[in-house]
Amino acid sequence: MIQPSFEIFKRNPALSDYPKTFISKNGVPIIIRPMIKEDAKGLYEFFSGLDKEDKIFLRDDVSNPEVTKKWAENLNYDIVLPLLGIHENKIIADGTLHSSNYFWTRHVAEIRIVVAKDFRNTGIGKKIVSELFFYALKRGFKKITAQVPFYQLNTIRIFEALGFEKEAILKKHILAQGKGYSDLIIMSVFADSAMQSIRRIS
């Protein structure tokens, strides 16, 4: 894994404090930072190590190394912010914040998260989602969404802890290996209510 120059993040004030070190629940240090061009191979290896069940929900064919190469060559943090979790120079988690492609939903952003099996329930998924969530608030998005298969209970709890609520259920929307058709849960939170909750806590 190539260590990035910190200058690439300083171009965006909201990213200037990366990379960060996160200590997982089992005491393992994990580096969190935005993806850079040199991460293409490492990201492909990360996705290649996922189970087939985990890959089903991904929206691109990550079995093709050209996919991650294309992502790396077209990085634009204003459109998609990919945050990586890195342990011992290997990518173990990938979270992304996606801006809407449509003019009439330009106030909406979506968070996606994938964590390697060996690092689930260690807190890294929640940490990356939280980082993306607060970055979205800084960017001024008014609504933040997530799409989660109904059987990913830990992921649902991560979003609920940040104030996300279940907004809709798409029945039999996913064809998951070994599980048949599964429901897809649409979760969301509005920035105004999130900020009010943060002020009450602080």
124 lies in some domain: yes
Instruction: Determine the pLDDT at residue 179.
Output: 64
Total-model pTM: 0.88
Q: What's the number of domains the chain is made of? A: 1
Tokens coding 111 = 């968070």
Instruction: Determine the pLDDT at residue 102.
Output: 80
Dihedral of alpha carbons 62, 68, 69, 70, sign? positive
87 lies in some domain: yes
Dihedral of alpha carbons 53, 57, 61, 63, sign? negative
Please report, for the domain that includes residue 20, its CATH number: 3.40.630.30
148 lies in some domain: no
Q: Provide the angle, in degrees to the nearest 10, between the axes of the packed helices 65-73 and 40-48.
A: 140
Residue-range definition of the domain harbouring residue 128: 7-142
Instruction: Determine the pLDDT at residue 1.
Output: 47
150 lies in some domain: no
H or E stretch at 46: helix 40-48
Tokens coding 102 = 């449509």
Instruction: Determine the pLDDT at residue 7.
Output: 72
17 lies in some domain: yes
Instruction: Determine the pLDDT at residue 190.
Output: 94
| CA distance readout (Å), 15 to 7, 116, 159, 187 | 10, 24, 22, 26
71 lies in some domain: yes
46 lies in some domain: yes
Instruction: Determine the pLDDT at residue 6.
Output: 64
Q: Output the tens digit of pLDDT for each of the chain's 202 residues.
A: 445 556 777 777 888 899 999 999 999 999 999 999 999 999 999 999 988 777 767 777 788 889 899 999 999 999 999 999 999 999 999 999 999 878 888 999 999 999 999 999 999 999 999 999 999 999 999 999 999 988 889 999 999 999 999 999 999 888 766 667 889 999 999 998 877 666 554 4
Instruction: Determine the pLDDT at residue 4.
Output: 52
Instruction: Determine the pLDDT at residue 92.
Output: 97
165 lies in some domain: no
Phi and psi at residue 23, to the nearest 5°: -100, 120
